[in-house]
Chain A
Amino acid sequence: MTAPTVDRGGDVAGAGDALAAEELVEELGGPSPLWRWVGTPVVLAGVCAALYVYVQGQDLDRIEEAALNAPMIRQRVLEHLELTAVSTFFVIVIAVPLGMLVTRPATRRLAPAVLAVANVGQSIPSIGILVLLAVVVGIGFEQAITALVLYAVLPVLRNTMVGLDQVDRSLIEAGRGMGMTARQVLLRIELPLAVPVMLAGIRTALVINVGTAALATFIGAGGLGWIINQGNIHDRTPVLVTGSVLTAVVALALDWIAGIVEDLLRPKGT
């Protein structure tokens, strides 16, 4: 929060209401932006370096070498990122407009039904969806994406709805009262003010997708899950550790990027 440098007069604190509370949460809510922006990559780089030193220190057999070589690791990381990016893209494209739709006065009554469907998507274990899809439509990248999207729609949908609903009704009334159309109110008032909550949902979806993408290997879609699985079936600890640590690093790195985007897209003045 930027504290204005000018004297704001006496009654600001009293009038601050919800904003003051938000500021307080922000102050209590741990590290400053600088630490959040710089700290995470430093820690993650340290973890990667430690992992490298650990693997270099091992005497690798042929099975381990087949999994732990630079081209293979690069390929699996890229596969993992692709699964995450594509699924998150579709989650946003589906859930954000849907959330906008079910918060409009005319279509608001659809909200419970839509939420129920999204809830089902999330409450079925993702491995279950993956296997079901594999049985019904076969294995591959598209099936993996479908499963990931189904699983991650809910947080984005719910946060879009909450984000739009928490916009102060009086702002909407003021907007309509001065002659803005419903569409202008949505685009210029409601959406910009809902952005922080919506982004939080997208960030959650992203993290869910990174984690769930590790399961995609079971229907032949690759990703870092493949390395973990290799370590598991051949009982090779270095392979297992490398796969797990890399999955965690990718997850944290994406979450870090999402956090920066959140900071940058927060509407000014709030």
Chain B
Amino acid sequence: MTDASRSPEPMIRLESLTKRYPGQAVPAVDGITLDIPKGEIVVLVGPSGCGKTTVLKMINRLIEPTSGRVLIGGEDVTRADADELRRHIGYVIQQIGLFPHMTVAENVGMVPKLLRWEKQRIAARVDELLELVGLDPAEYRDRYPKELSGGQRQRVGVARALGADPPVMLMDEPFGAIDPITRDRLQNEFLRIQADVRKTIVFVTHDIDEAIKMGDRIAILREQSHIAQYDTPEAILTAPADGFVEDFIGAGAALKRLNLTRVREVPLDHWPAASVHEDRARLRRLLAESEQGSLLLLDEEDRPLRWVTARDLAREREPLHRVGLPATAVVEPHATLHDALDEMVTSTVGCAIVVDRRGRYQGVVDLGTVTSAIDEMRSDVRRRDRAVAEAEAAPGDAVGEVG
């Protein structure tokens, strides 16, 4: 069976959850059974019309199941007071749904208000949440949603869903309506927040790449929400259960696996780097001693500034912060190797600079790092394939349908 059923106590358990609409021959969701472990992001992914959103909405009972049960923290919530239940489940939708006639603070403080928290406690919580999602409370608290950019609205939406610190969050294509560049940044930010808050999250998307990036586990659904495969992204990419999953993953599974490794997980290379305020003689010596053809200059706070070569250093009349090339292709440790590779190929120097959350230089990732990561994956795949072949030879399926 799958990893999920081995974990001792799932935060959310779906038991033969079914939704049948009157007048329709087949159920929209046909008896899905799924365990969602505590503190993980489980992504429901599948083609449109597979019922993934219906499954999600049955968890907070925006859609009432026809039969089956939902257990949250071991408690059957299918009979509980639905409004009260929803106040303890964060909910983020694609359209975000910020209330346009309320300020950011009123939006974010809505659930605490519904729970009758004291005013001061709500205000403190709002500021805390805005800070968590990277919006300065003093600046944004009193704005109206129309005075925010799409990305900022999305962050407020996430802050609002975290309002009363719910243990569980449901997210329905939360980044679906955002441009690709902002989406990527918001996804990374969200993963950073999740690393702090460790919520149990059910995340719906139709985008397999997003599923791979966001999910601790992925449930690939086919029509009527039958589970085609429920496993970790690594396992799904390495050993797709069947042709449907293979088709759904699409081409380039190996390249997609670059999304699974984060920069912080690979050894960084060290590039000669020095402060822009060093004197030129020392910089020249540093460059000569290294094997590289260029030197990375950093500002007072150790942030990457310029790439300079020996020839740039020789131009004595130009100030150092103006010679050479700007230090682009900067990634943070939580970026994936895919992000890093992307930056690398567009960078002039052929490597991506890694900085910490404050922007301070940490090291670099180059093509060699990526190649060895790919090599490692290849051997993983081979090992895994062998295991699958053995399992198939034996009776019983290693990664069969759950339920």
| Bound together | yes
Distance of A179 Cα from B88 Cα, bound (Å)? 8
Judged by a CB distance under 8 angstroms, whether B244 is at the interface is no
Distance of A180 Cα from B95 Cα, bound (Å)? 18
The residue from A14, A15, A173, A178 contacting B87, defined by CB atoms under 8 A apart: A178
Interface 1/0 per residue, A145-180 and B, CB below 8 Å:
000000000000000000000001011011111111
Q: Are A179 and B86 in contact (CB under 8 A)?
A: yes
The residue from B60, B83, B114, B149 contacting A12, defined by CB atoms under 8 A apart: B149
Q: Are B149 and A268 in contact (CB under 8 A)?
A: no
Q: What B residues does A180 contact at CB under 8 A?
A: 83, 110, 114
Q: Are B149 and A179 in contact (CB under 8 A)?
A: no
Judged by a CB distance under 8 angstroms, whether A16 is at the interface is yes
Distance of A14 Cα from B153 Cα, bound (Å)? 13
Distance of A4 Cα from B104 Cα, bound (Å)? 14
Q: Are A179 and B151 in contact (CB under 8 A)?
A: no
Judged by a CB distance under 8 angstroms, whether A112 is at the interface is no
Knowing A9-B149, A179-B86 touch, does A269 contact B97 (C-beta < 8 A)? no
Knowing A19-B146, A184-B114 touch, does A171 contact B99 (C-beta < 8 A)? yes
Q: What A residues does B144 contact at CB under 8 A?
A: 268-270
Distance of A176 Cα from B61 Cα, bound (Å)? 10
The residue from B86, B110, B147 contacting A4, defined by CB atoms under 8 A apart: B147
Q: What A residues does B139 contact at CB under 8 A?
A: 6
Q: What B residues does A178 contact at CB under 8 A?
A: 86-87, 91, 110-111, 114, 160-161, 163
Q: What B residues does A16 contact at CB under 8 A?
A: 146
Q: Are A11 and B93 in contact (CB under 8 A)?
A: no
Interface 1/0 per residue, A8-25 and B, CB below 8 Å:
111110111001000000
Q: Are B100 and A270 in contact (CB under 8 A)?
A: yes
Distance (whole angstroms) from the CB of B109 to the closest CB of chain A: 11
Q: Which of B85, B87, B97, B144 has its CB near the most chain A CB atoms (within 10 A)?
A: B97
Judged by a CB distance under 8 angstroms, whether A138 is at the interface is no
Q: What A residues does B146 contact at CB under 8 A?
A: 16, 19, 269-270
Knowing A177-B62, A178-B91, A178-B111 touch, does A11 contact B182 (C-beta < 8 A)? yes
The residue from A11, A15, A168, A181 contacting B97, defined by CB atoms under 8 A apart: A168
Distance (whole angstroms) from the CB of B349 to the closest CB of chain A: 28
Q: Which of A169-226 contact B (CB under 8 A)?
A: 170-171, 173-181, 184, 188-189, 192-193
Judged by a CB distance under 8 angstroms, whether A267 is at the interface is yes
Q: Are B100 and A179 in contact (CB under 8 A)?
A: no
Distance of A184 Cα from B148 Cα, bound (Å)? 25
Distance of A257 Cα from B343 Cα, bound (Å)? 61
Q: Are B147 and A173 in contact (CB under 8 A)?
A: no
User: Considering only CB atoms, which chain A residue lies closest to B179 in the complex?
Assistant: A11
Interface 1/0 per residue, B129-171 and A, CB below 8 Å:
0000000000100011111111111000000110100000010
Distance of A54 Cα from B95 Cα, bound (Å)? 61
Q: Which of A12, A179, A181, A268 has its CB near the most chain B CB atoms (within 10 A)?
A: A179
Q: Which of A11, A184, A192, A269 has its CB near the most chain B CB atoms (within 10 A)?
A: A269
Q: Which of B74-119 contact A (CB under 8 A)?
A: 83-88, 91, 93-103, 110-111, 114
Distance of A261 Cα from B91 Cα, bound (Å)? 36
Distance of A168 Cα from B146 Cα, bound (Å)? 14
Q: Are B150 and A174 in contact (CB under 8 A)?
A: no
Knowing A177-B91, A184-B114, A269-B101 touch, does A8 contact B96 (C-beta < 8 A)? no
Distance (whole angstroms) from the CB of A151 to the closest CB of chain B: 32
Q: Are B149 and A8 in contact (CB under 8 A)?
A: yes
Distance of A270 Cα from B84 Cα, bound (Å)? 30
Distance of A10 Cα from B148 Cα, bound (Å)? 10
Q: What A residues does B102 contact at CB under 8 A?
A: 269
The residue from A175, A179, A268 contacting B101, defined by CB atoms under 8 A apart: A268
The residue from A8, A11, A14, A179 contacting B111, defined by CB atoms under 8 A apart: A179
The residue from B100, B101, B114, B149 contacting A11, defined by CB atoms under 8 A apart: B149
Distance of A170 Cα from B62 Cα, bound (Å)? 13
Knowing A179-B84, A269-B100, A269-B101 touch, does A174 contact B91 (C-beta < 8 A)? yes
Knowing A174-B97, A269-B100 touch, does A179 contact B150 (C-beta < 8 A)? no
Q: Are A174 and B182 in contact (CB under 8 A)?
A: no
Q: Are B86 and A176 in contact (CB under 8 A)?
A: yes
Q: Are A189 and B150 in contact (CB under 8 A)?
A: no
Distance (whole angstroms) from the CB of B266 to the closest CB of chain A: 33
Q: What B residues does A11 contact at CB under 8 A?
A: 149-151, 179, 182
Q: Are B85 and A15 in contact (CB under 8 A)?
A: no
Q: Are B93 and A189 in contact (CB under 8 A)?
A: no
List 9 interface pairs A-B (beta carbons < 8 Å), by A numbering: A8-B148, A9-B152, A11-B149, A15-B149, A19-B100, A170-B93, A173-B97, A181-B83, A269-B101
Known: A6-B147, A15-B153, A267-B100. 9 other contacts (CB 8 A): A10-B149, A11-B150, A12-B149, A170-B94, A171-B99, A178-B91, A178-B110, A178-B111, A179-B84
A-B pairs, 4 with minimum CB distance: A174-B97, A269-B144, A179-B87, A170-B95
